[in-house]
Structure 1
Amino acid sequence: MADKERIDFCIVCRKNTTYTLQKRNIIKTIKDKEYTFSITVAVCDECGEEMSIPGLIDRNIQEIDEQYRTYEGIVSIEDIEKLMKIYKIGKGPLSLALGFGEVTITRYLLGQIPSKEYSDILRTALSSPAFMKRKLQENRDKIAMAAYNKAMEAATQLVNLFSVSDKMLRVISYVFERLEEVTPLMLQKLLYFIQGISYALNKRPMFYENCQAWVHGPVYPEVYDMFRDFKYNPIEDARFAIFEGTKDALTEEERRVIDLVVDTFGEYSGKVLERITHKELPWKLARKGYADTIPCNETILRGNIEKYYMEKNEEYDFSSEDGLRKYIMAFL
């Protein structure tokens, strides 16, 4: 419903009146078990009675469905769609791969609620690529070869994705949520700045992976391997759908650091960010003895990153976007 003034016919007032949407709790019994659900109701601004508004019943059904699934730990339709997207697999092949009947996933997508047993299988497939690989191997004879190969390739890539820490994955996923386009070069530099600002504001690293002093600035080698195929193009990686909507896995302090970096450094291209890192002491110290064009894989010591960014924080105040922008402009 639009945010403009809401008007509809009130059967009590017998005329068109404005109304307000409010939340109301109801109690429903499902399979002999009582549940309290919060639904949306329309209340007439003149008489205070509830009104019947087009579309509201469908909205309530959706609200009750979502809350019931949460109460019982049942997988959502969105999660099933995410699973299909991640593994590039259709409804029928996914059903067979997980050991279900061929039309089971189709029924779930139309609104049928899965049993707890089947829901747990779907949840595990979504959270564990190793489990998905096992299910694909167990049921490969039931699936068309093309569908099997695509899903297995996606599962293998996702297993490889977990070669970095969970924190690194969550940070990358959150950066993807915040920015529409991120190239591999840009991502590398944002991760480096996030690490530095985390030291400055939270007095600890955001993640424990080490970066190296490559020719084009700080690089996290494992992250480079994950996205090397994108070269200079924006990253479009369906594998990260597995982390969508999980930003709560980051603390409020961690999200604040990422938001500050994304809203400032994130306004610039990877090449511009590279120029900034080339003027910073941690990269210079690690590159000592190497000519500008000579490759090296020397580690940029986390202690040097910490010392440098804590000192610059005293000078610029990285707790605000203004302070970060002043720092950026000083280096450009």
Structure 2
Amino acid sequence: MAEKKIFCEHCLDDVTYHIEEREMTRKLKGTDYTFLGKEAFCDACTQPVFVEDIDTANRQALYDAYRKANDLISIAEITSLLKKYAIGAKPLSELLGWGINTIPRYLKGDLPKRSYSETLYRISKEPDYFLTLLKDAKGSLSSPTYEKSLKATEKLIADGEVPKEHLAANYLLSKNNEITPLALQKLLYYVQGFSVAFTGEFMFQSDCESWVHGPVYRDIYEKYQEFGWQPIVLESDYDYRHCFTDQEIQVLDSVIYHLSVYNGKVLEKFTHEESPWLLTRGDLKEDEASAAVIEKKLIADFFERVKDKYDMLTVDDIAAYSNERFSRLHF
């Protein structure tokens, strides 16, 4: 095979060259970024020579360094996302309401806008969120494209790709459109507690933390914090029932019926008088921040005692506890 040659402006001739790897620093959008790049040198005079393929690779390495430093989604992560949801780059661009060639451009190396990157990151991490977007955009996709992606997404959810507390949150929100982020946290805590009391199993693997305003599932907080003190708007009518066992549905429905009637501040007062949160907080002041995990054993012990004290035979008996708690509150 003939050796590759390139024109050397120093030798004024076509020459062979060799490539060396080296750390490079270049400026992009006003900031210097360092990356491992390559440089070509003339074999005759040892001076640098320009090789288009190497320049392109260095530019891509610079962009990769920029993505990493600025927490922008990478080409590999976008490619993985498309495979995960069995959808093409152009259909996903259409689904998101972007220009049809937006994601194809990102795959070729263009840098994504931060807001677009955040959307793609969220899609990658939250199949339930993508499912919402997919169903809302059904009319903008061809039937085969929609059905193929829907099947892949539903399989991810069924296989446990979505943490159970996220699915439970979606179910609760689909049944009550007045739930705020504060109330949602407390409802999930009661779902977890009454689940272990009635089924012997925790519904969620994730732990909750003893924050100032009561038990909190951090990932749920981060997902819905943009709603502040306002009710959460769930942009989907998807039926999540198939994600749960019949017993789990009974617990969820009972919590919705008997506890979601109270606002977040009332539910906060409930949890502030219960031993799991109190014991975990210890001697902390009322307004002192804490991220201490509420041990699952504390939750199990407390809710099993509640079940026994109120002679709960079915999950509908949660009403006895919630009614008494509310009657004893002082505002």
Q: TM-score range by the shorter chain?
A: 0.5 to 0.7
8 Å Cα contact 2:90-2:100 kept in structure 1: no
Quick one: which amino acid aligns to residue 164 of structure 2?
A: K
Q: Give the C-alpha shift of residue 132 in structure 1.
A: 5.2
Q: Answer yes or no: is 1:217 the counterpart of 2:204.
A: no
Query: Any idea what SS the aligned residue of 2:301 has?
Result: helix
2:100 maps to 143
Count how many residue pairs are aligned between Structure 1 and Structure 2.
202
Which of residues 268, 276, 287 in structure 2 aligns to 1:282? 276
Q: Answer yes or no: is 1:159 the counterpart of 2:124.
A: yes
Mapped to 2, the partners of 1:325 and 1:305 lie a distance apart of 17
Q: Give the C-alpha shift of residue 323 in structure 1.
A: 2.3
8 Å Cα contact 2:187-2:259 kept in structure 1: yes
1:37-186 pair list within 5 angstroms: 131=84, 135-136=88-89, 143=100, 145=102, 154-161=119-126, 165-186=162-183
Which of residues 189, 193, 202 in structure 2 aligns to 1:192? 189
1:9 maps to none
Unaligned runs of 5+ in 2: 1-80, 106-112, 129-160
Which of residues 257, 261, 281 in structure 2 aligns to 1:267? 261
1:6-17 pair list within 5 angstroms: none
Mapped to 2, the partners of 1:281 and 1:229 lie a distance apart of 30
Q: Give the C-alpha shift of residue 326 in structure 1.
A: 3.8
1:96-134: per-residue Cα shift (whole Å, max 9, x none)? xxxxxxxxxxxxxxxxxxxxxxxxxxxxxxxx7764597
Query: Any idea what SS the aligned residue of 1:218 has?
Result: strand
1:216-247: per-residue Cα shift (whole Å, max 9, x none)? 00000111111111111111243xx3x81231
8 Å Cα contact 1:184-1:228 kept in structure 2: yes
1:244-255 pair list within 5 angstroms: 244-255=238-249
2:68 maps to none
8 Å Cα contact 1:195-1:207 kept in structure 2: yes
Mapped to 2, the partners of 1:264 and 1:130 lie a distance apart of 42
Query: Any idea what SS the aligned residue of 1:289 has?
Result: coil
8 Å Cα contact 1:213-1:299 kept in structure 2: yes
Q: Give the C-alpha shift of residue 179 in structure 1.
A: 0.7
Q: Answer yes or no: is 1:258 the counterpart of 2:245.
A: no
Could you say what the CA RMSD is over the residues aligned between the two structures, in angstroms?
3.2
Moved more, 304-313 or 166-175: 166-175
Query: Any idea what SS the aligned residue of 1:198 has?
Result: helix
Q: Answer yes or no: is 1:324 the counterpart of 2:321.
A: yes
Unaligned runs of 5+ in 1: 1-127
Query: Any idea what SS the aligned residue of 1:213 has?
Result: strand
1:115-165: per-residue Cα shift (whole Å, max 9, x none)? xxxxxxxxxxxxx7764597337986971659x978765443232336984
1:98 maps to none
8 Å Cα contact 1:218-1:283 kept in structure 2: yes
Moved more, 301-310 or 153-162: 153-162
